[in-house]
Amino acid sequence: MKKNEANILTHLRRNARESLVKIKDNTGMPLSTIYDKLRKLEENYIKKHTSLLDFEKLGFKTRANIAISVEKNDREPLLKFIKECAFVNTANKINHEFDFMIEGVFKDYEHMKLFIEELDEKFKIKDTQIHHLLECIKHEELLSDTEHVKHLK
């Protein structure tokens, strides 16, 4: 990644809605260059433009990272369930003892408990570990500062 592209990416990581004109003013790059580089970034590096939400203000008081180990025959059906479940914010396949790590966002503790019970009823769950998320300290900050850019290849 070139320095100009990394600079644009840094601005977008801070604020994905920042106007190209404002990025032009901050970087000194021509608007046409920014536009062209943004298209290249979207083709190669940017997966999705999105908004970070305050789930608690939206009425979701319970968040947890849940590690799940499931019988081999139930991995694909569980994966399909996870992809379609509205309460799963983020999901990853993982290694060592567990198959999946999901971040669940729930109205309250009781709804989370019902979700875990649903998993147990529908799938051959071997083990789960639940880690309640108490406070977000840092989220989606990588490459949001020009200091981070020097760590790129």
26 phi and psi angles, rounded to 5 deg: -80, -30
Give the model's pLDDT for residue 2.
Answer: 84
Cβ atoms of 1 and 147 closer than 8 Å: no
Crossing angle (nearest 10°) for helices 31-44 and 3-14: 80
The gap between the terminal CA atoms of the chain, to the nearest Å, is: 7
Domain 3-50 top-level CATH class: mainly alpha
Q: Check: CATH 3.30.70.920 for 62-132?
A: yes
pLDDT digits (tens, 9 = 90+) for 109-136: 999 999 999 999 999 999 999 999 999 8
Give the model's pLDDT for residue 25.
Answer: 94
Name the residue ranges covered by the structural domains of the chain: 3-50, 62-132
Give the model's pLDDT for residue 126.
Answer: 97
Q: How confident is the model at residue 93 (pLDDT cuts 50, 70, 90)?
A: very high
pLDDT digits (tens, 9 = 90+) for 32-57: 999 999 999 999 999 998 888 999 99
Give pTM, 2 decimals: 0.83
Q: What number is the average pLDDT over the span 89-106? A: 96
From residue 47, give the alpha-carbon distance in Å to each of 15, 50, 72: 15, 10, 30
Sheet holding 125-132, edge to edge: 88-93, 100-106, 62-70, 125-132
Q: What number is the average pLDDT over the span 13-41? A: 93
* Token pair listed for 26: 């901050």
Q: What number is the average pLDDT over the span 59-83? A: 97
Cβ atoms of 5 and 152 closer than 8 Å: no
Say whether 62-132 and 3-50 share the same fold.
no
Q: Is the pLDDT score of 148 beyond 70?
A: no
- β-strand partners of 62: 106
